Amino acid sequence: MTGRTVTPHAPADPATAPELACPIAPVVDIVFSRWTTPILWTLHTHGRQRFVQLERRIGGITPKVLTQRLRQLERDGLVVRTYHPEVPPRVEYEISELGLGLAPLFAHLAEWATDNLPKVERARDDYDGRP
């Protein structure tokens, strides 16, 4: 024994649930996790992809993490997985109709990034340069 007391977490109080403070919090949790956005962006930009193509295009993602994220995106209805029973078997992924509904959001974010990321960098430099 370590001598530590483990206290179970109390159930979340509905009055303080994050989605009540910010109704887009659940969407942010689904769409903007570490690898979800690059996967959806790649599928939207390049269309149907095999696993290896996605892995190469995204870069830096491990096969394990890509598999986990694709499964979650399929579960959430944002990605469609198609299995082709041939020799060797072929699996392809594509963005679903539900996922395509995020395209305007991504377009606005890309525009915002182009217009504002230089300002963010300047603000960071100014902040970091303060005494």
Alpha carbon of 94 to those of 5, 39, 98: distances in Å? 47, 10, 11
Whether residue 63 has a cis bond before it, omega within 30° of 0: no
| Number of CB atoms found within 10 A of residue 21's CB | 9
Domains of the chain: 21-100 (1.10.10.10)
Task: Quote the radius of gyration of the chain (alpha carbons, Å).
Answer: 20
pTM for this predicted structure: 0.75
Q: Going by C-beta distance under 8 Å and a sequence separation of 6 or more, which residues neighbour residue 79? A: 39, 40, 43, 70, 73, 93, 94, 95, 96, 99
CA 47 – CA 100 distance, rounded (Å): 11
CA 40 – CA 31 distance, rounded (Å): 9
∠ CA 34-101-79 to the nearest 5 degrees? 55
pLDDT at 72: 95
Q: Write out pLDDT tens, residues 24-62.
A: 888 888 888 889 999 999 999 999 999 999 999 999 999
Q: Write out pLDDT tens, residues 87-129.
A: 999 999 999 999 999 999 989 999 999 999 999 999 999 999 9
